[in-house]
Amino acid sequence: MQSTAAELRRAVEEALPVLLAIDEGASVRSPAPGKWCPRELVGHLIDSAANNHQRFVRARLQDDLVFPGYDQDAWVSLQRYREAPWRELVELWRLYNLHLARVFEAIPPELARRSHMRHNFDQIAWRTVPASEPATLEYFADDYVGHLRHHLSQLNATAQR
């Protein structure tokens, strides 16, 4: 998990100047009707960090990889990210992910690589794993970083406009 933690830190470091280059006005403009504006997208990434943080901690305390899901659109709406100051959202996102990198580093390699037949990555992973196939916590951490980078590329496109 050391390499995944390093990749997460790298993603945060690379994204930070891009995110800070998006001004307050641009941070509330949706790219298309029904799509999240940058503030909402960063809010979604904060929610992802929060939900995955507890999943990675729970994984140390349980024998399977079955974790609660959440309604992403409802979470973004209920927390009114669109109304939050842009720089505060970016800073919260940055710090939460740096903490999550520390959580990744604390997971012993044998636990990270342990194969589990009981998981719900068919429902909660970004790149799903069929319920009939085994999965590992290491896969889930890599999937988290992949999801993060996917949305950061969307935000990068906003910064380029």
Structural domain that includes position 52 = 2-160
In the chain, how many domains are there? 1
pTM: 0.95
Confidence grade of residue 159 (pLDDT, cut at 50, 70, 90): low
Which H, E and C letters describe 92-104, residue by residue?
Answer: HHHHHHHHHHHHH
C-alpha dihedral over 18, 19, 24, 29, to 10 degrees? 90
The rounded distance, in Å, linking the Cα atoms of 19 and 155 is 7
Q: What is the pLDDT of residues 66-108, one digit of tens each?
A: 999 999 999 999 999 999 999 999 999 999 999 999 999 999 9
For 150, the token pair is 């996917």
Q: What is the pLDDT of residues 3-12, one digit of tens each?
A: 999 999 999 9
Residue 124 clears pLDDT 80, i.e. is over it: yes
The rounded distance, in Å, linking the Cα atoms of 134 and 3 is 22
Question: H-helix or E-strand containing 90?
Answer: helix 86-105
| 121 and 135 Cβ atoms separated by less than 8 Å | yes
The CATH number for 133's domain is 1.20.120.450
Can you give the pLDDT at residue 160?
62
Residue 118, Ramachandran bin (φ over 0: left; ψ between -120 and 50: alpha; else beta): beta
Q: What is the pLDDT of residues 32-67, one digit of tens each?
A: 899 999 999 999 999 999 999 999 999 999 999 999
Can you give the pLDDT at residue 32?
87
